[in-house]
Amino acid sequence: MAIQNPESVFRVPARLCMSPNNLATAYPHGGVALGVIAQIAFKPNALYVDITAEEFGGTLVDRIYAGEEPVLSCTLRGWDSDAINAILPNTSLAIRSDGRVSKDRKIRYEPDVAGLKYPGYLMSGVSFKLLVSPIASEFHPGVLFYNVAPAWDADAELVFKDGNEMVLKIDFACLPDITGRCYNIGKLIDLVL
């Protein structure tokens, strides 16, 4: 058993990076920075099946590991066009009233419009590699997801009210990549793209 050391307890401030291609370079590691993110939480959602024995009165005697359904949840603070375009299923460049095209993205839900994601669309079609990049990467671990499918969080809501920050709650479902990899957790220097 390890000797308890309060110095081993730490907070890990981090940022999100889409499609990193070189972990040896500074953030965003050759990829795309995904806005101001808060409340980053990784949930492995490990699945187990309990084995009980009738001869012991239905007592738990073992447990079978049945895989994981990993998800990364976070909150996007602010209106970041790169993040909105990468994360949400239906976005487009905004056309202003004077006919000029804005550099900002807008969120759309028009299921019958050609070119938009329709109900039933497989989100694996827009999946990408995602890195939770710790700010102090020489001390803190990061998480590399090899293939994530982004989506609105099931409880997402946009609150338009004075005194409240307008945030977008997002979930990234972790899917296996073509080699079967889902995620790796460790210091960036130890992770392999």
CA distance 139 to 156: 33
- Structural domain including 87 reads 13-190
pLDDT of 176 higher than 70? yes
pLDDT in tens, 39-55: 899 999 999 999 999 99
Q: Looking at the domain assignment, is residue 7 inside a domain?
A: no
Neighbours of 107 (CB within 10 A): 16
**Residue 85: left if φ>0, alpha if ψ -120 to 50, beta else—which one?**
alpha
What pLDDT was estimated at residue 128? 95
Q: Determine, yes or no, domain membership for 68.
A: yes
At 6 the pLDDT is 62
Which one-letter amino acid corresponds to residue 30?
G
Give the least confident one: 41-50, 73-82, 105-114, 141-150: 105-114
26: its two tokens: 């500074």
Question: What is the C-alpha to C-alpha distance for residues 20 and 33, in angstroms, rounded to an integer?
Answer: 9
Number of domains present in the structure of the chain: 1
Residue tagged 């220097």 (tokens): 189
Closest residue by Cα to residue 76 from 102, 105, 109, 53: 105
The two tokens of residue 89 are: 């299923």
Q: Is residue 127 part of a domain?
A: yes
Q: Do the domain assignments include residue 135?
A: yes
Residue 99 covered by a domain: yes
Identify whether 45 is part of a domain.
yes
Examine residue 8 and state whether it is found in any structural domain, yes or no.
Answer: no
Question: With 70 as the cut, is the pLDDT of residue 153 above it?
Answer: yes
Please check whether residue 137 lies inside any domain of the structure.
yes
Burial grade of 82 (CB within 10 A; 0-12, 13-18, 19 or more): middle
Confidence of residue 168 (pLDDT cuts 50, 70, 90): confident
Q: Which region among 14-28, 57-71, 103-117 has the lowest average model confidence (pLDDT)? A: 103-117
1-28 pLDDT, tens digit per residue, is 566 666 666 667 889 999 999 999 999 9
Mean pLDDT of the chain: 87
* Angstrom distance (rounded) from CA 168 to CA 155: 10
Average pLDDT over residues 112-139: 86
78-105 average pLDDT score: 77
Query: 120 or 143: whose pLDDT is higher?
Result: 143
Distance CA 69, CA 158 (A): 27
Distances (CA, A) of 43 to 32, 70, 147: 23, 6, 15
